[in-house]
Amino acid sequence: MSETALPSNFTILAIETSCDETAAAVVRGGRTIISSVVASQIDEHRRYGGIVPEVASRQHILALPAVIEAALSRLPDGLAQVHAVAATYGPGLSGALLTGLNAAKAMAWARDLPFVGVNHLEAHIYANWLLPGEHASSDTPLALSDMPPAPQFPLVALVVSGGHTLLALLEDHGQYRLLGQTRDDAAGEAFDKAARIMGLGYPGGPAIQQAAEHAPGGVTLPRAWLRDSYDFSFSGLKTAVLHQVQSRQTREAKVATKADGAATQQRTPKGESPDSFDKYIAQLAYAFQESVVDVLVTKTVDAARAFGATEIVLAGGVAANARLRAELKRRASVPVRYPPLALCTDNAAMIAAAAFYRFASGRQSDWDLDVVPNLKLA
């Protein structure tokens, strides 16, 4: 069932509100992005050093009308050109999910359109079906023969986001086999927590990647291999970072540096110049990133080999990590695909892509579909 029976101009409006991005997108034929609008709430949450659910729900309600309108504005006849409406129904924050799910249902109901509920984790994987670059904003769909090929099954998907870390085998659209997942923190969560410990701010992933660029080597951190399993564990690594920072601080006098509005403080040990402490933090950031990347890449490459995958797809916010992308490409023996940066983090175009293939296989949702905050992939 790798081919779909839906027409290539089948147009889906999708909404994503599972966490801290309010997003809407219009996607044609499951692959061509007509519009993708993302309103980030990151500034609202930054002061707390993490996401506050009530703040997220309120911001979604405030942002949704304008975000949906902006997404539809790329269609000359707006909603009249849409064939189905989709929204994320889980996993995520329940209040936040409700805002987008209800908005999508209301629009579908009012226009007598089919409605498709989408699993956010599945959608991250489907970001790999979307066409980036010059095709992305095209109003005229490419002829099927001109389209870059879609991912080929069977494939191994590594989903690494702020809330999830999992390795799955996809045998066809909608056919998942969960190979492994995190036993504690998600990879992105580990980046965020470690960055906070190191005083690098929020969100932690980009901050750690940037700090790591300045100081290779010097510090080593452990890797949690969990032998004979495709599961992951990152909480021990986070604790190792904490111990490193604390032991560096035992001799210290606390010197608070400018906290630029974040709930983080940088502490400089006594007698140590801020420059050398910054260098130490950069080395720690590098070691942390190496440890996470090594484990993620090793298990993904092993799984691809063990299950005869024809390719590897990377997905989720942490797929934006340059070191992870490069190392996976270097060590994999099959092609590695990852979405462009803007489609790695939460967006609604990926929801539309997943909805297209769901709908194509006859999986439309009922009006009573509720949010499922802990929805699983398989």
Positions touching Zn ion (CB under 5 A) are: 161, 346
Residue 41 vs 268, nearer CB to ligand KG4 = 41
- Residue 346 sits in the site that holds ligand KG4 (CB under 6 A): yes
Q: State which of residues 192, 290, 311, 327 lies at the interface with ligand KG4 (CB under 6 A).
A: 192
- Work out how close the CB of 334 gets to ligand KG4 at its nearest, in angstroms, rounded to a whole number: 23
Beta strands in the chain (DSSP E): 11-16, 21-28, 32-40, 84-90, 115-119, 155-160, 165-172, 175-181, 311-315, 336-337
- Residue 321 sits in the site that holds ligand KG4 (CB under 6 A): yes
Beta 115-119 vs 84-90: how paired, if at all? parallel
16 burial type by CB count under 10 A (0-12 exposed, 13-18 middle, 19+ buried): buried
Radius of gyration over every alpha carbon of the chain, rounded to an integer in angstroms:
21
Residue 277 vs 357, nearer CB to Zn ion = 357
Residue 92 gets which letter from DSSP?
Answer: S
Q: State which of residues 10, 176, 191, 232 lies at the interface with ligand KG4 (CB under 6 A).
A: 191
Answer whether 55's CB lies under 8 Å from 377's CB.
no
Peptide bond into 91 cis (omega under 30): yes
Residue 96 vs 104, nearer CB to Zn ion = 96
> What x-and-dash track marks residues 127-166 binding ligand KG4 by CB under 6 A?
----------------------------------xxx---
Angle subtended at Cα 128 by Cα 17 and Cα 90, rounded to the nearest 5 degrees: 30
Give, for 341, the enclosing helix (H) or strand (E). helix 341-344
Residue 21 vs 311, nearer CB to Zn ion = 21
- Work out how close the CB of 370 gets to ligand KG4 at its nearest, in angstroms, rounded to a whole number: 20
Residue 189 vs 346, nearer CB to Zn ion = 346
Q: State which of residues 12, 61, 320, 336 lies at the interface with ligand KG4 (CB under 6 A).
A: 320
- Residue 286 sits in the site that holds ligand KG4 (CB under 6 A): no
Burial 205-233 (b: 16+ CB within 10 A, else e): bbbbbebbeebeeebebebbeeeeebbbb
Stretch of residues binding ligand KG4 (CB under 6 A), selected from 241-249, 294-302, 317-325, 366-374: 317-325
- Residue 19 sits in the site that holds ligand KG4 (CB under 6 A): yes
Task: Label each residue of 93-145 as H, E or C.
Answer: CHHHHHHHHHHHHHHHHHHCCCEEEEEHHHHHHHHHHCCCHHHCCCCCCCCHH
Residue 141 vs 163, nearer CB to ligand KG4 = 163
Stretch of residues binding ligand KG4 (CB under 6 A), selected from 61-69, 268-276, 302-310, 313-321: 313-321
- Work out how close the CB of 210 gets to ligand KG4 at its nearest, in angstroms, rounded to a whole number: 8
The one-letter amino acid code at 91 reads: P
Residues forming contacts to ligand KG4 in the complex (CB under 6 A) are 19, 161-163, 188, 191-192, 203-206, 209, 316-318, 320-321, 345-346
